[in-house]
Amino acid sequence: MAYYPHTSEEIEEMLSSLGYESIEELFEDIPKEARFNDESLLNEGTSELEVSKLMKELSEKNKTVDDYICFMGGGAYDRYIPSTVDHVISRPEFYTAYTPYQPEVSQGTLQHIYEYQTMICRLTGMDVANASMYDGASALAEAVIMAMNVSRKNKIVVPKSLNPYWLRVVKTYLLGSDAEFVMVEEKNGEIDYCDLEDKIDDDVAAVLTQYPNSFGIVENLKEIKDKFTSKKTMFVVMADPIALGLLKKPGDLGADIVVGEGQQLGIPLSFGGPYLGYFAFRKKYVRKSPGRIIGKTEDKEGKRGFVMTYQTREQHIRREKATSNICTNQGLMTVAASVYMSTLGKQGLREVAEQSYKKAHYLFNELTRIDGIKKAYPDKPFFDEFVIEVNTDLNKLKYKMKKEGYLPGIILKHQYPEKDNQLLIAVTEKRTKEEMDSFVSKIKTILKG
């Protein structure tokens, strides 16, 4: 096998230089009772050719978003990824490097992260961003932990309009802590302000808000922030990074921590991972923040350079007093995100957001003209994802639409048992008018039939 280069002569030579006759002697310190002896359970390897064939066969048993026309979102979106992204992240200089512990030979990774931090700050309107969390949901969980540590309070106010799957991750992260989750009702697809007023008090560590929310509706962050009664309560916003290409920045609307799922920034769907949890916050909280942070400095000759900084928060220094246990993060995915954001640039991100908005509204208008389909939340602003109410069995509709070659969206009942007949539909810049028109006409036919 090619991945250990030793010839049998070399093995012998090395062993005898150590005074051993066999490899087994290298393991004589392992007690007999703890040894594994059943060689028959160990299977054989195969050639690269065979593995490549096997993997191709397995991959072909899966249906991709190219086998369908995809209107499914819910946190992971079918967007166009410019060629530059994969060319950069395919460079072994990036993907076979480790965490930049030796800055003199890691300036590529370090300068990149500094640039990435800058882009995330500009996107969110925040002061500091870290070098990534595992995904959006875990970033949200870490934000809650940070908010509890900053505020020294334990009540977490969560609107029902926040993705229940992600909330489930937050709750798992907080298992064993004294966090108390207080749910705020939803009204017409957005946070119920009266209920928010009732639920909020001076003991609240954080109010969480998804922007746009899990129904695609753009929550009014400013109005939510106005209901806060304590200055210590942290406003944690989980924002869609493409929406931020169009909408006002959470940082300008009172957010203290902004996190999100970065998959849309040039990362393939890959059945949910590897994705990217971005994490940004106000400067004054930096010492309580989780994850790696890169800072600018200079070398002893005065040349600009970058280093890992504020390391005294991290587990490898601080051990049980660390702000988080995170070590390995989503480094390479931050490269993808930076290349994506740099390729699109100032105008391109706006254009992707704008096209997504316009196409989503076109489809929304066309669909809601059909008999048997109505707007679930008619008066609310949305970005590129929306909910329709369909007067039919959605499972059957979905089944039939898939047969026609469409992934028609997400049935909300799975996440919201009380919501019958509601379908969440996402539209990205990739969809064309032709695709949407035929989608509409297929649904129309099925509903008639």
The DSSP result for 63-91, as a single string, is --TTTSEE---TT-------HHHHHHHT-
Among 227, 354, 404, 438, binds another protein (CB under 8 A): 354
Question: By CB under 8 A, is residue 154 in contact with another protein?
Answer: no
Shortest CA distance to 213 belongs to which of 182, 192, 234, 230? 192
Cis peptide before 212 (omega within 30 of 0): yes
Cis peptide before 274 (omega within 30 of 0): yes
Among 69, 79, 135, 233, binds another protein (CB under 8 A): 135
Residue 396 Cβ vs another protein, minimum distance, rounded to whole Å: 14
Whichever of 19 and 448 has its CB closer to another protein, that residue is: 19
Residues 217-276 contacting another protein, CB under 8 A: 218, 220, 244-249, 252, 261, 268-275
Whichever of 5 and 449 has its CB closer to another protein, that residue is: 5
Number of neighbours of residue 81 by Cβ within 10 angstroms? 16
Question: By CB under 8 A, is residue 194 in contact with another protein?
Answer: no
Residues 17-76 contacting another protein, CB under 8 A: 17-18, 23, 26-31, 33-36, 39, 41-48, 51-52, 54-66, 70, 72, 74-76
Whichever of 231 and 434 has its CB closer to another protein, that residue is: 434
Among 108, 193, 370, 413, binds another protein (CB under 8 A): 108
Binding region for another protein (CB under 8 A) out of 154-162, 199-207, 339-347, 441-449: 339-347
Whichever of 202 and 252 has its CB closer to another protein, that residue is: 252
Question: By CB under 8 A, is residue 183 in contact with another protein?
Answer: no
Question: By CB under 8 A, is residue 86 in contact with another protein?
Answer: yes
Question: By CB under 8 A, is residue 101 in contact with another protein?
Answer: yes
Place of tokens 């499972």: 395
Whichever of 134 and 215 has its CB closer to another protein, that residue is: 134
Binding region for another protein (CB under 8 A) out of 102-110, 154-162, 385-393, 438-446: 102-110
Shortest CA distance to 413 belongs to which of 437, 397, 427, 401? 397
Shortest CA distance to 133 belongs to which of 258, 239, 273, 275? 275
Residues 373-432 contacting another protein, CB under 8 A: 379-383, 402, 407, 410, 429, 432
Read off the tokens for 363: 């489809």
Place of tokens 């008090």: 201
Whichever of 273 and 372 has its CB closer to another protein, that residue is: 273
Read off the tokens for 433: 């008018």
Whichever of 322 and 370 has its CB closer to another protein, that residue is: 322
Q: Which residues of 312-341 are buried (b: 16+ CB within 10 A; e: fewer)?
A: ebbbeeeeeebbbebeebbbbbbbbbbbbb
Whichever of 119 and 207 has its CB closer to another protein, that residue is: 119
Contact 154, 283 (CB under 8 A): no
Residue 198 Cβ vs another protein, minimum distance, rounded to whole Å: 26
Place of tokens 């509709």: 397
Among 69, 79, 132, 207, binds another protein (CB under 8 A): 132
Give every CB contact of residue 366 below 8 A, 6+ residues apart in sequence: 436, 437, 440
Residue 129 Cβ vs another protein, minimum distance, rounded to whole Å: 7
Q: What angle do CA 388, 389, 395 make, to 5 degrees?
A: 100
- The angle that helices 394-403 and 433-448 make with each other, rounded to 10 degrees, is 130
Residues 272-331 contacting another protein, CB under 8 A: 272-275, 283, 286, 292-301, 303-307, 309-310, 314-322, 324-331
Residues 239, 261: Cα–Cα separation, whole Å: 8
Whichever of 155 and 249 has its CB closer to another protein, that residue is: 249
Total residues at the site for another protein (CB under 8 A)?
A: 203
